[in-house]
A and B are shown apart, each in its own frame.
Chain A
Amino acid sequence: AAGVIQSPRHLIKEKRETATLKCYPIPRHDTVYWYQQGPGQDPQFLISFYEKMQSDKGSIPDRFSAQQFSDYHSELNMSSLELGDSALYFCASSWRDFGYEQYFGPGTRLTVT
């Protein structure tokens, strides 16, 4: 079965650089969520989209922005990167007509040096 696809899987950036993470949800899933997991921590919700509209927002820094496109894929843009942004970034998707399970992608490991 198709799963959530995230790219790239690993990304190394320097401080003050910009990064773009991509997420391709499971086909027919209409909701996308982004989470950030720091080392040794639990995943923290950043932002979500339903049918291409922002549906909820968590503790997402102003330096970060995200959107969901017409083909339902989503991108998380991160600017002026800081060392503390080093984390595992997960995208998850769900389908409102099928249930509430959020299926997670493999994550993008971002390292800021």
Chain B
Amino acid sequence: AQKVTQAQTGISVVEKEDVTLDCVYETRDTTYYLFWYKQPPSGELVFLIRRNSFDEQNEISGRYSWNFQKSTSSFNFTITASQVVDSAVYFCALASGFQKLVFGTGTRLLVSP
């Protein structure tokens, strides 16, 4: 069975601080995909990134960066110089191919001015 664990239920930071959201996954599949989604207070789910199991390169997109380590089954997400608009619930998710997404329980990030 596939499982995603986000141990941090809530994180509170002050604007401009860096913050890392942790994600640990479990799967028996050799080919799988990892995702991060952002859910702002308005409720929609916003796709942030997809990573396949064969690509362990870290990725940076503006203030966002992701660290994928198969050895520790982790796919962590770092926001650099956080902003108030980053306040949201962030979900890490796992899928095998076109199968359903299995989500973690989410981490609620609050960025204060």
Write the residues of chain A forming the contact surface with B, with a CB cutoff of 8 angstroms.
31, 33, 35, 41-45, 48, 50, 55-56, 58, 88, 90, 92, 94, 96, 99-107, 109
Contact = CB atoms under 8 A, between A and B. Distances in A.
Contact of B44 (A33, A56, A102, A106): A106
Nearest to A90: B45
Given A100-B33, A106-B43, A42 B103 contact: yes
Interface residues of B, number: 22
Contacts of B91: 42-43
A100 B100 contact: no
Contact of A100 (B43, B44, B97, B106): B97
B65 interface: no
A103 B101 contact: no
Contacts, number: 57
Contacts of B102: 45
Interface in B63-103: 91, 95, 97-103
A109 B42 CA distance: 11
A113 to B, nearest CB: 20
Contacts of A102: 35, 47, 95, 101
B53 to A, nearest CB: 11
Of the listed residues B43, B52, B95, B98, the one surrounded by the most CB atoms of chain A closer than 10 A to its CB is B98
Contact of B98 (A31, A104, A107): A31
A107 B101 contact: no
A58 B50 contact: no
B105 interface: yes
Contacts of B100: 33, 45, 48, 56, 58
A107 B39 CA distance: 11
Contacts of A106: 43-44
B48 to A, nearest CB: 10
